[in-house]
Amino acid sequence: MAQKRIVKEYSELQKNPPLGMKISLPSEADMHQWQILIDGPKGSPYEGGVFTLQLSLPTEYPFKPPTLSFKTKIYHPNVTNDDKGSMCLGMLRADEWKPSSKIDAVLGFARRLLSEPQPDDAVEGGIAREFKENKKEFIKNAKAWTKQYAKK
């Protein structure tokens, strides 16, 4: 069931890719690992950068949510600042996930998060505080990281 649905979703996304995203499979044999290249949204401090994300689909998919992680370092309150770069919020949480949600929605959600970080649901407390209290500094740092790590 998982395999079939994943293939279907993958081909749909290939046919009709979301704005500013490139989706590919690092290994043709493994449909459960996807690579997403996402352009920093216009107007955000991530503009001009390209971020690599990894989407992992559990074997229990669609009953369990996929997990999304940034392979490119990013200065963002909702992404862990370690080599995992994991993000966990909203629809990706086990208790909020519904099997009827689709990967298309997950990716849209990730892109929206780049434009609008959610500091109240942050994993990086320091960055969240900066985002709330000193936006200028946050934008400066985020831009610097984008330049350094997310070059085209």
Q: Which of 56, 91, 134, 151 binds another protein (CB under 8 A)?
A: 56
**How far lies 98's CA from each of 6, 101, 102, 124, in Å?**
15, 5, 9, 26
* Order of strands, sheet of 50-56, starting from the edge strand that comes earlier in the sequence: 21-24, 33-39, 50-56, 67-70, 86-87
Question: Quick check: 9 binds another protein (CB under 8 A)?
Answer: yes
Residues paired with residue 82 on neighbouring β-strands, in sequence order: none
- Closest distance of CB 47 from another protein, Å: 25
Interatomic CA distance for residues 52 and 93, integer angstroms: 21
Judged by CB under 8 A, the stretch of 15-23, 37-45, 99-107, 137-145 that binds another protein is 99-107
Catalytically annotated residues: 88
Count of residues that interact with another protein, criterion CB under 8 A: 39
Q: Report whether 131 contacts 141 (CB < 8 A).
A: no
Question: Quick check: 99 binds another protein (CB under 8 A)?
Answer: yes
Q: Which of 17, 18, 32, 52 binds another protein (CB under 8 A)?
A: 32
- Closest distance of CB 148 from another protein, Å: 22
- Locus of tokens 């046919």: 15
Q: Which of 46, 62, 113, 150 binds another protein (CB under 8 A)?
A: 62
Distance of CA 149 to the CA centre of its chain: 16
Interatomic CA distance for residues 21 and 7, integer angstroms: 18
- Closest distance of CB 86 from another protein, Å: 4
List residues near another protein by CB under 8 A.
1, 3-5, 8-9, 32-33, 54-56, 58-60, 62-65, 67-69, 80, 84, 86-88, 92-95, 98-100, 102, 122-125, 128
